[in-house]
Structure 1
Amino acid sequence: MAKLQYYTAEALEKLKAELHHLKIQGRSDMAKQIAEARDKGDLSENAEYDAAKDAQGLLELKISKLEEVVANARILDESTIDTSKVSIYSIVKIKNIKNGATFSYTIVSEEEADLKTGKISVSSPFGKGLLGKKEGEMAEIQAPAGKMEFEILSITR
């Protein structure tokens, strides 16, 4: 059984738009590629046709997985998020105790995680280490570089 994932309304719409694009445009483009490859002659010795069929299989797999994600997606009402402790969709400002560096991260679902934009997965070591912590508390996180300690400076939405 697939697990439920929580998304913001914006993130779920983005997933639905990608799924729609793959179903309409992606399948259409794939059909054209297969038709072009088929027109090039004997299918038993046509590597282009085999490649197009493989690509079609990968596209259908991606569509299938995305349909499952959308079917199990739930919209999280951000106004109900408790900002007294770290939870999904919290914006957390933390300070590294060792070097004093401060960071700000938004805790999001696995599919929305993007470190470049400051969004970390709720199931990542950092996400797990921060969950449930309150302002002023210390979070000990097992990172690839070893154990790190952070102070929770602020929690917002």
Structure 2
Amino acid sequence: MVDKVPMTKGGFAKLQEELRWRQQEERPRIIDAIAEARSHGDLSENAEYHAAKEAQSHNEGRISEVEDYIARAEVIDVSKMSGDTIKFGATVKLVDEDTEEEKTYQIVGDQEADVKQGRISISSPISRAMIGKTVGDSIEVVAPGGSKAYEILDVNWS
């Protein structure tokens, strides 16, 4: 059985765009770079050739990876979700019970996670602690940096 990979519509669109870019723009650019480097003669000591081949290997590997994610994608339309219980796609406002610092996170797929933009992976310790909880609940998150306690202030689906 193939494991589905949950992601938002936006995350799926970004993966599709990355795949298009890698196949239609990056791949031909790398092929041209390899051809140019080959024209310089001896390949055994040609750093440009080896760098281009390495870039090609990296690009083709990422293409395979992105194709796999797209094939296994379970696209979830967050705009059609509602309720008070936290699950994939929810945007959750928390307050750190020690520092009173408020944070807002959206729970997204692993490929979409970007903490700086407030998007955390469904498989992260904080997401796993929040799933199934509601406003007013307290959670304890055991993370590499130590244990932290948060109170859930708000759940929304925007």
Paired residues in the alignment total: 157
Match of 1:76 in 2: 76
1:149 Cα offset (Å): 1.1
Note the 1:54-93 alignment, pairs <5 A.
54-93=54-93
| Cα deviation 1:88-122 (Å, max 9, x = unaligned) | 11011111111222111111111111111111111
Identity of aligned residues (%): 38
- Give the Cα–Cα distance (whole angstroms) in 2 for the partners of residues 44 and 100 of structure 1: 60
TM-score (norm 1): 0.92
Aligned to 1:4: 4
Which residue is equivalent to 2:96?
Answer: 96
1:1-157 paired onto structure 2 within 5 Å: 3-157=3-157
What is the RMSD of the two structures over their aligned residues, measured on CA atoms? 1.5
Gaps of 5+ in 2: none
1:89 is paired with a residue whose SS is coil
Give, in angstroms, the shift of residue 47 of structure 1: 2.7
Give 5+ residue unaligned stretches, structure 1: none
For 1:99 and 1:51, locate their aligned partners in 2 and report how far apart those are by CA, in whole Å. Answer: 48
| CA distance in structure 1 between the aligned counterparts of 2:108 and 2:3, rounded to whole angstroms | 15
Check the 8 A contact 1:136/1:151 in 2, yes or no: yes
Whether the 8 Å contact between 2:6 and 2:75 is mirrored in structure 1 is yes
Runs of 4+ that moved beyond 3 A: none
Aligned residue type for 1:155: V
Report if the CA contact (8 A) 1:96-1:102 is conserved: yes
Q: Matched residues in 1 for 2:134 and 2:150: separation? A: 12
SS of the aligned residue for 1:87 comes to coil
> 2:51 is paired with a residue of what secondary structure?
helix
